[in-house]
């Protein structure tokens, strides 16, 4: 039940709304988990469990429901009750994918360019209103704790000097270079390393904040003693795309990418790693993600088909994955796309059902 803020003594007003919970949310309550309502004044409220976010939708009820209250001042033991409220609608919960774009907006003034300790004193003079610790950040974003922490990693946002800051692409690329070079210096490899020794050596040689390097390495650790090579190489490619201000000839980009990761890792440089992070037009590649597209499914598909009249299914899917789970994506594709098989490649392609 959600308490609505009205006069404390006015029980004729609609002080309550009934909330219908699914089995997953009931189980969460039974385990003493906290369910939290989130949303600023200009946002529709959502309900968050530890791991999921739920939209709230009103559903009209054919039969009215009545909330009764026993009279606690009854001195004659008659067990009288009175009506507190009558409900003609209830709130339903629908699991949804949270919109994390607000993270980028509120942290846009605190991009981390230099993670060396010599830069720490400058940060202390920054207006406190621009600083976000985890509690403030979490209260500003309509997402569960698990989803929040996943987004911080996915968007390369690091806890640095008491606040959360997105890492600049050039800065992150330099850090990945330092890690790779330090591994070689220490006689270690991506699949056999001592993370603490690497962190200490990077600090010793380059004065880079230890917690920062530790966090960056955690983003790519597959086991306590190894890095996920594909994830590491992919991030290098993404950083290169981000730092190029204009579309780059495809061959030039691939050469730059391979040179940056080094000979031993160059064989891992494949565009398949970068799906959802780039577009190729007229032989030139540029950084592009779904974050620049509409959140409304109909508009999203229109935008995509304006870019290309025909998409290979494997190329389109990464740009709609944030619109729902696998079942929802299947429904959206059926609704907005016509499926065909490309004769030359035998691959599935999509064209628009909408008038573009």
Question: What secondary structure does DSSP assign to 221-232, as a single string?
Answer: EEETTEE-HHHH
Phi, then psi, of 320 in degrees rounded to 5? -125, 0
Give the tens place of pLDDT for each residue, 331-353.
999 999 999 999 888 999 999 99
Residue 225's pLDDT is 97
145: burial class by Cβ within 10 Å (0-12, 13-18, 19+)?
Answer: middle
CA distances from 92 to 61, 78, 149, 348 (A): 11, 36, 26, 37
CA 160 to chain centre: 19
Q: How far apart are CA 353 and CA 75, in angstroms?
A: 70
* Nearest Cα residue to 350 out of 328, 326, 318: 318
* Nearest Cα residue to 79 out of 91, 87, 71: 71
Q: How far apart are CA 186 and CA 183, in angstroms?
A: 5
Residue 2's pLDDT is 35
Residue 10's pLDDT is 45
Question: What secondary structure does DSSP assign to 100-167, as a single string?
Answer: -HHHHHHTGGG-B---BGGGHHHHTTS-GGG---HHHHHHHS-S-HHHHHHHHHHTTEEEETTEEEEB
Q: How far apart are CA 24 and CA 47, in angstroms?
A: 13
Give the tens place of pLDDT for each residue, 53-96.
999 998 887 888 888 887 766 555 556 777 878 888 888 999 98
Q: How far apart are CA 277 and CA 290, in angstroms?
A: 8
Q: Is the pLDDT of residue 6 over 60?
A: no
* Nearest Cα residue to 322 out of 99, 39, 142: 99
Q: Is the pLDDT of residue 197 over 80?
A: yes
Q: How far apart are CA 352 and CA 346, in angstroms?
A: 19
* Nearest Cα residue to 199 out of 214, 188, 216: 214
Give mean pLDDT, residues 284-309: 93
Q: How far apart are CA 294 and CA 306, in angstroms?
A: 13
Domain locations in the chain as residue ranges: 2-96, 101-227, 244-288, 291-352
Residue 130's pLDDT is 86
H or E element: which one contains 95? strand 81-96
pTM of the entire predicted model? 0.83
Residue 132 backbone class (left: φ over 0; alpha: ψ -120 to 50; beta: rest)? beta
Residue 86's pLDDT is 82
Q: How far apart are CA 199 and CA 247, in angstroms?
A: 35
How many residues are listed for the chain in this entry? 356
Phi, then psi, of 228 in degrees rounded to 5? -75, 105
Structural contact between residues 354 and 336, judged by C-beta atoms closer than 8 angstroms: yes
Q: Is the pLDDT of residue 268 over 50?
A: yes
Q: How far apart are CA 74 and CA 80, in angstroms?
A: 7
Q: For residue 90, count other CB atoms closer than 10 A to its CB.
A: 15
Percent of residues, the chain, with pLDDT higher than 90? 68
Q: Which two tokens stand for residue 105?
A: 């907006």
Q: Which two tokens stand for residue 37?
A: 């309502």
């Amino acid at each position: 039940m959600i308490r609505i803020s009205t006069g404390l003594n006015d029980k004729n007003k609609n002080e309550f709304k009934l909330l219908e919970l699914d089995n997953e949310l009931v189980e969460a309550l039974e385990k003493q988990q906290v369910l939290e309502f989130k949303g600023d004044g200009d946002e529709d409220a959502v309900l968050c469990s530890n791991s999921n976010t739920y939209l709230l939708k009103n559903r009209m009820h054919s039969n009215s429901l009545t909330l009764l209250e026993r009279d606690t001042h009854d001195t004659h033991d008659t067990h009288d009750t009175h009506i507190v409220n009558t409900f003609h609608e209830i709130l339903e919960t629908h699991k949804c994918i949270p919109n994390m774009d607000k993270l980028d907006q509120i942290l846009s003034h605190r991009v981390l360019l230099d993670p060396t300790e010599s830069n720490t004193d400058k940060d202390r003079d920054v207006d406190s209103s621009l600083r976000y610790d985890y509690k403030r950040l979490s209260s500003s974003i309509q997402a569960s704790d698990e989803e929040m922490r996943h987004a911080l990693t996915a968007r390369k946002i690091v806890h640095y000097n008491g606040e959360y800051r997105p890492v600049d692409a050039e800065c992150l690329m330099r850090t990945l270079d330092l890690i790779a070079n330090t591994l070689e210096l220490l006689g270690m490899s991506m699949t056999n390393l001592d993370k603490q020794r690497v962190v200490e050596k990077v600090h010793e040689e380059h004065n880079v904040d230890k917690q920062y390097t530790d966090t960056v390495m955690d983003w790519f650790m597959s086991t306590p003693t190894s890095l996920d090579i594909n994830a590491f190489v992919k991030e290098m490619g993404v950083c290169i795309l981000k730092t190029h201000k204009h579309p780059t000839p495809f061959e030039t980009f691939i050469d730059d990418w391979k040179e940056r990761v080094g000979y031993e890792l160059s064989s891992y440089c494949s565009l398949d790693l970068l799906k959802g992070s780039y577009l190729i037009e007229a032989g030139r590649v540029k950084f592009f993600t779904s974050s620049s597209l509409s959140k409304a499914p109909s508009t999203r598909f229109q935008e995509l088909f304006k870019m290309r009249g025909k998409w290979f299914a494997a190329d389109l899917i990464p740009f709609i994955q944030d619109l729902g789970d696998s079942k929802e994506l299947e429904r959206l594709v059926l609704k907005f796309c016509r499926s065909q098989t490309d004769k030359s490649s035998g691959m599935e392609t999509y064209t628009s059902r909408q008038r573009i």
